[in-house]
Chains A and B, each alone.
Chain A
Amino acid sequence: MTLSKLAIKNIRKSIKDYSIYFFTLVIGVIIFYVFNAIESQTIALSVSRRSYETIELMNQFLSTVSIFVAIVLGGLIIYASRFLIKRRNKEFGVYLTLGMSKRKMSVMLFFETLLIGAISLGIGLVLGVAVSQLMSVMVANSFEADMTRFTFVFSPKAAVKSCIYFGIMYVVVIIFNTISVGKCKLIDLLHGDKKSERMSLKNPVLCAVIFLIAAAILGFAYYRMIHILKMNNVNQVGFVLLMGAVSTFFIFWSLSGMMLTLFRGMKGVFFKKLNSFTLRQFSYKANTMVVSMTVICLMLLLTIVLLGTAFSLSRSLNGNIKNLLKTDVYLYKGIDVSGEATEENSEILADLAENGFGKENFSDIVDYYVYCEEGLTEKAYCGDYLEEIKKNYLFIRDENLLMLIKESDYNEIAKLLGQKEIDLEGEEYAIVGNFQPAIDVRNKLLSEKKSIIVNGHELSPKYDKCIVGMVSMIGTPSEEGAYIVPDDVLGEDMRVYERILANYREATDTEKAAMEEKLITILDALWDRDASITYKTREEIKDASTGLASMVTFISMYVGIIFLIASAAVLSLKELSESADNIKRYNVLRRIGTDEKMINGALFKQIGMFFIFPMLLACIHSVVGFKTASVILESMGAKQTVYSLMSTASVILVVYGGYFVLTYFTSKRIIKG
């Protein structure tokens, strides 16, 4: 029999041991292909010119992240293959006894790796192509591309890349296998399972004490983290994270002893059915897996936060587009405060008309000015409260002047944007805004009846709350506050900006796009001539924010899912790695007459505890993790949503749950002997 035939027979024989390894390889290939295929999919999309730039950037990021992902997967595959080699020590021992050379054994392992690698790569790529069709719908959605012409996309580039990367990983596995075969000793191979039965036992009281201390430190770390977020004091973050990681380690270190103490106290539970056995099994294994459980818990934490944040970001940004972008175009230009009537100072519309873009091209149009009162700064208005805004928003400055807008102008804006109109009576003012941290502070001042002096008039607040809305067009809710005042208190000399919010007259999207192209050409030409009109269009903001959202979403999903697979696979392999000992134990149970149902139940609980505990602690961690993430999200105008939590949970349930079920069934098959 040739070595390659032997390799094939071996794989067939130990197919049940290989299932987790194989599953991991296939999922790895699928994920790798799907995310690398995004590039080809985005090229096939008909998106705007600006989207292409974002897509380009995203694809570069995905490529870079792929290298990192390949390293993680490579480590995982080496780990898994080492597990398989260990499982087969006895088989190798027999080969050596029969006179097979180590070199031949390496060749045999080479064939095995090659075969498994080729099959998993093949299956992974086929499934990857299928999954990537679903992904292309998601990609198109997030770039708001036209999906009417759905095409089947196969990315040869991604396929070749997957083959190369996984090829390299397999080569590394083969090298590792050769080294480990070269180093192994016959005696260890044949008697590897007869290791000493000595168990590391921990003092249960010490465990309980350590557990409580670790839990207390963890609680303190949570508290500090939330505090840091409030104080915006970033330099302590490292220490707090370390504190969290160390206490996580000690929680797992003491968990099994702690549980044992707890349950042994409850004799009614402990001595019921196989509970004592299950708990003993768990605590025995948990003692040998403290480091892995800690690392897995932290990886799961990252997964949960990455996935959750990614989903909420894409959803909120897409929501923002619907809610915040209500006009086609927004133009503004600074007014020269010297008041000289230069070309720059001429009105925007006049500039445009001069260059061939008449007012008639717009259907709805609001043309208004922003005024400022000298000395009426954020510091003057907010006083000590300003520090509170700064905690959440670093860009606000003491000397920023308050933005003043005429009541009549605002009401026109309100009509166009569908916001609440204002009716000021006499010497009154109101505030419009939607940037929550600033709004909160201004609401406080409004309820305190804080008045402002504009052009000699003392104005008192009309409402005790800000009106939620905006006076310009920004892709995120970041209007810090516009002060609406009676028309007659503002003088022409107080103008600082002219602004225009408008819609194009054209009805269809294509016509609108053509009109926008024309407008932008003119505006760009004007910019070059120093008549600087700044423009923002709905399409441009949309592209930028969806581009950003998609980029962050895809990359977070990529990394998150890889971490998830890595942690689940390691747990699974750890659980299966001692199946030889388990066979012995479960056979004892059978001999003393335990029902199969009870045995399966015990196995299920035992494996379940292994999967649940790291996940449970990761979920608790993630509450604070999400709090941290929402600070970043808020600055991008996004919020955590129930939807994103549900999506995260379902991804985790499918992948993690899949590994759990697979581990349970593989384990069940192994203990059946």
Chain B
Amino acid sequence: MENTEILKIENIEKYYGSKSSLTKALNGISFSVEKGEYVAIMGASGSGKTTLLNCISTIDKVSSGHIYVGGKDITKLKGNALNKFRREELGFVFQDFNLLDTMTAYENIALALSIQGVKPHLIETKINGIAKNLGIDEVLKKYPYQMSGGQKQRVAAARAIITEPKLILADEPTGALDSKSAKMLLESFKYLNEDINATILMVTHDAFTASYAKRVIFIKDGKLFNEITKGDKSRKEFFDDIISIVSLLGGDQSDAL
């Protein structure tokens, strides 16, 4: 099992504030993600799910504990080693797309390869391949302002997968999309996971989005609350399971839906 473990989180904690008024955003979380898994992390606002993702993506630092990606402890990385790790091992999809507004879709995707020093002639074949499969080959020459939200997010997904990262991190990827676009994006994620065996870790508070994953981890107040796997269940059944846990989570239900 050891060699297929992509992400291993060991008892991480993250504190904010001073000693007198300490906020524990993450309070001893441990779990691991295998290669080829598709995991969703759910929780209400303030449960610590975004902090968790930020720590994994090295945008934020943990206060204690360890995070291993491909066997390497990334909490020990510093400076350019961090950047190198981020561009070579991780792919990102953000809620607000984070595409560069001055560049075309093609150039946005290509940039992820350029900064890795990939030879320019290899870039074209790679992009054309992925664009077709994600249904964005029509918009490659367009600028972000000329695209719909769904198209933008699929371009962002293409940018995340093009470098063949060990792990794709998605932060509320459907948050800014209408339901139709969200569905198309999730189908794309499904394709990435099932057909090209990408490992995806997705943070969401939307049960429908989470139901596309194979495993859902729930966190509450910075701690692991529950975990369910899809197994052989249909997506509808899995969705119902998720909803029942969400209601157990208490808190503000409407926020979790």
Q: Which residues of A contact B (CB under 8 A)?
A: 196-199, 201, 267-268, 270-277, 280-281, 283-284, 581, 585, 588-598
B110's contact among A271, A588, A597, by CB below 8 Å, is which? A271
Complex alpha-carbon distance, A113 and B185, angstroms: 52
Q: Would you call B183 an interface residue if the criterion is a C-beta within 8 Å of the partner chain's C-beta atoms?
A: no
Say how far A431's CB is from chain B's closest CB, in angstroms.
68
For chain B residues 81-106, which have a beta carbon within 8 Å of chain A?
Answer: 83-88, 90, 92, 94, 98-103
Query: What residues on A are CB-neighbors of B154 within 8 Å?
Result: none
Q: Would you call B115 an interface residue if the criterion is a C-beta within 8 Å of the partner chain's C-beta atoms?
A: yes
- B100 touching A585 by the CB < 8 A rule? yes
Instruction: Contacts A267-B121, A281-B102, A588-B98 given; indicate if A594 touches B145 (C-beta within 8 A).
Output: no
Q: Can you give 20 contacting A-B residue pairs, CB < 8 Å?
A: A199-B101, A201-B143, A267-B123, A268-B120, A271-B113, A276-B107, A276-B114, A277-B100, A277-B103, A280-B107, A585-B102, A588-B98, A588-B100, A590-B83, A591-B57, A591-B94, A592-B112, A592-B159, A593-B83, A593-B88
Complex alpha-carbon distance, A614 and B256, angstroms: 55
- A276 touching B111 by the CB < 8 A rule? yes
Q: Would you call B59 an interface residue if the criterion is a C-beta within 8 Å of the partner chain's C-beta atoms?
A: yes
Instruction: Contacts A198-B145, A280-B100 given; indicate if A274 touches B80 (C-beta within 8 A).
Output: no
Say how far A193's CB is from chain B's closest CB, in angstroms.
13
A592's contact among B80, B84, B86, B123, by CB below 8 Å, is which? B86
Q: Would you call B43 an interface residue if the criterion is a C-beta within 8 Å of the partner chain's C-beta atoms?
A: no
Complex alpha-carbon distance, A283 and B101, angstroms: 12
Complex alpha-carbon distance, A595 and B80, angstroms: 6
Query: What residues on A are CB-neighbors of B83 within 8 Å?
Result: 590, 593-596
Instruction: Contacts A280-B103, A588-B100 given; indicate if A594 touches B87 (C-beta within 8 A).
Output: yes
- A596 touching B114 by the CB < 8 A rule? no
Say how far B141's CB is from chain A's closest CB, in angstroms.
11
Say how far A673's CB is from chain B's closest CB, in angstroms.
12
- B114 touching A592 by the CB < 8 A rule? no
Say how far B170's CB is from chain A's closest CB, in angstroms.
13
Q: Would you call B173 an interface residue if the criterion is a C-beta within 8 Å of the partner chain's C-beta atoms?
A: no
- B111 touching A277 by the CB < 8 A rule? yes
Query: What residues on A are CB-neighbors of B117 within 8 Å?
Result: 273
Complex alpha-carbon distance, A195 and B238, angstroms: 42
Q: Would you call B150 an interface residue if the criterion is a C-beta within 8 Å of the partner chain's C-beta atoms?
A: no
Query: What residues on B are CB-neighbors of A280 within 8 Å?
Result: 100, 102-103, 107
- B102 touching A284 by the CB < 8 A rule? yes
Query: What residues on B are CB-neighbors of A268 within 8 Å?
Result: 120-121
B114's contact among A274, A284, A581, A590, by CB below 8 Å, is which? A274
Complex alpha-carbon distance, A370 and B21, angstroms: 105
Complex alpha-carbon distance, A641 and B15, angstroms: 69
B92's contact among A201, A283, A592, by CB below 8 Å, is which? A592
- B144 touching A274 by the CB < 8 A rule? no
Contact string against A for B residues 111-138, beta-carbon threshold 8 Å, 1 for contact and 0 otherwise: 1111101001101100000000000000
Complex alpha-carbon distance, A272 and B143, angstroms: 20
Say how far A595's CB is from chain B's closest CB, in angstroms.
5
Query: What residues on A are CB-neighbors of B88 within 8 Å?
Result: 593
Say how far B171's CB is from chain A's closest CB, in angstroms.
10
Instruction: Contacts A199-B101, A270-B120 given; indicate if A593 touches B84 (C-beta within 8 A).
Output: yes
CB closest chain-A residue, reference B99 = A588
Complex alpha-carbon distance, A391 and B166, angstroms: 78
Complex alpha-carbon distance, A275 and B124, angstroms: 16
Query: What residues on B are CB-neighbors of A267 within 8 Å?
Result: 120-121, 123-124
Complex alpha-carbon distance, A201 and B143, angstroms: 10
CB closest chain-B residue, reference A271 = B120
For the complex of A and B, list the 9 residue pairs with the smallest distance between their C-beta atoms, beginning with the closest: A593-B87, A593-B86, A271-B120, A280-B102, A197-B145, A284-B102, A588-B98, A267-B120, A595-B83
Complex alpha-carbon distance, A275 and B107, angstroms: 11
Q: Which of A201, A271, A274, A592 has the most CB of B within 10 A?
A: A592
- B114 touching A272 by the CB < 8 A rule? yes
Complex alpha-carbon distance, A57 and B75, angstroms: 74
Complex alpha-carbon distance, A593 and B82, angstroms: 8
Given contacts A271-B110, A591-B59, 15 further A-B contacts (CB under 8 A): A197-B101, A198-B145, A268-B120, A268-B121, A270-B120, A271-B114, A273-B115, A581-B101, A585-B102, A588-B98, A588-B99, A592-B112, A592-B159, A593-B90, A596-B83
Contact string against A for B residues 224-249, beta-carbon threshold 8 Å, 1 for contact and 0 otherwise: 00000000000000000000000000
CB closest chain-B residue, reference A198 = B145
Query: What residues on B are CB-neighbors of A284 within 8 Å?
Result: 102
- B145 touching A591 by the CB < 8 A rule? no
